[in-house]
Amino acid sequence: MKEEMTAGLEKLQALRGLSERYGCPFVEYQESVTGPQFLLWKLDMARLRAEGWFPREVRDDRATVIATEPGPALAEVVRDTLGVAEVEFQVTLPHDLVRIFEHNQDLNPGFPATAGRTPLAKVRTYLAGQRSLFAHYRTLLAKSRTGLAFIRTGLAFITIALLFLRLAGAGYYVLLEAPLLISGIIMVYDGLKWYLPARALYSALPPCVDTGATGGTSVLEVYNEFNAPEFIRTGVVPGAAGLRAGWTSLSPVMRRRFLAGDRTDLAEERTVLSCFRTRMAKARTGLAFTRTGFAFISTGLGLFLIGVAFLFFFKDTGGIGWNVFSYCMMTAGLILIADGFVWSVPAERIRSQFPYCFGDMEIKIPDYGTPVRFWKKVVFSSDES
């Protein structure tokens, strides 16, 4: 306590010495020392800090300015910058001037300008935009899985219609064959319309990157926000950990600044988890596409075997066209299977790397390649690490 009183007394003596030296009143940093916000928004705060002055009040063609080294040259700079005729100085210590700038930029000591609550709100807005984009991707992937189910059902209808056509011919059976064939073609076409837009998402999904929150001692920044937002975390701010450790001694304003950073870190965490959910949706789509590929190749193989049987046991086999069609179906099925594995294998690797932790709440992690009873559990903790 004695050291604090000594430091306070020494600071007061230093401020009085500056006041006598420059012939103007002194001012000490307090949260009540603010400038006109509408004016500050228009000024380059970094330049003002480098020049060593802060506009406290501008009224009636007169400016009251806080500076560390008042003088005629600085007064001329102030007049040119603010467009006033008279300048009144108030002197302060360099450290206090820095804190005045930081407070008016809504910053805790030592934090960069991007740590203000407004820049952090902008970061959270872009993170929310990414989560909305991931939700849109998941909707497209869900539609594509429905489209693939349509394709499989349509292929089954086409197979049944062609089988009836080969076995029973046309005649009265055309009343059954034609609706099945037409319905199958429509379902395949409609399923492809639902699936193909999602197919382009394979290379469009961004990586799920977590910059690594540090408990409010670093700042998440956004760059290139108008094209493809990129989120980068600054290094740990010197002294921030000690400042936060003294939580009870912080003012409500300083606490809110730390809490704004915490909300931003949580928004980043939700965005990363949303990205993982989207990649899991892509994995499910890949598995659905693999099933469609197997359905396609089994259909083509069935038609091929039927054509072979007719070739050996029946005189009228329908010609080589049926066999060519069967071969085409088999080839298309193999292509679908290969493309399905291109989707599912990378996503399965991501699923196996899902972050595990331990705590109070547990949920099952879906593994669509195994029965539900074999799904593993992940446990989430509400305790602070």
Q: Are 265 and 216 in contact (CB under 8 A)?
A: yes
Q: Per-residue pLDDT for 29 more than 60?
A: yes
CA angle (309, 313, 316) in 5-degree steps: 95
Query: Which pLDDT does position 97 carry in this prediction?
Result: 94
Q: Are 310 and 169 in contact (CB under 8 A)?
A: no
Q: Per-residue pLDDT for 380 more than 80?
A: no
The least confident of 46-50, 137-141, 151-155 is 151-155
Residue 1: pLDDT band (50, 70, 90) is very low
98: closest CA among 39, 56, 48? 48
Query: Which pLDDT does position 104 carry in this prediction?
Result: 93
| pTM greater than 0.75 | no
Per-residue pLDDT tens over the stretch 46-62: 999 999 999 999 988 89
**Alpha carbon 278 to its chain's center:** 11
Q: How far apart are CA 329 and CA 326, in angstroms?
A: 5
119: closest CA among 253, 222, 271, 235? 222
Query: Which pLDDT does position 85 carry in this prediction?
Result: 92
Query: Which pLDDT does position 128 carry in this prediction?
Result: 92
DSSP secondary structure string for all residues of 285-317: HHHHHHHHHHHHHHHHHHHHHHHHHHHHH-S--
Q: State the chain's mean pLDDT as an integer.
A: 79
The least confident of 193-202, 211-220, 309-318 is 309-318
CATH of domain 2-105: 3.30.300.160
Domain with CATH 3.30.300.160 in the chain: 2-105
**Alpha carbon 162 to its chain's center:** 49
Average pLDDT score over residue span 9-33 = 91
303 versus 85: the higher-pLDDT residue is 85
133 versus 206: the higher-pLDDT residue is 133
* Residue 20 one-letter amino acid: E
Q: Is the torsion defined by CA of 250, 256, 261, 265 positive or negative?
A: positive
Q: Per-residue pLDDT for 64 more than 80?
A: yes
The least confident of 31-40, 133-142, 252-261, 331-340 is 331-340
Instruction: Give helix 252-313 / helix 320-352 axis angle, nearest 10°.
Output: 150
Q: Per-residue pLDDT for 365 more than 50?
A: yes
Per-residue pLDDT tens over the stretch 113-122: 999 988 999 9
The least confident of 2-16, 74-88, 257-271 is 2-16
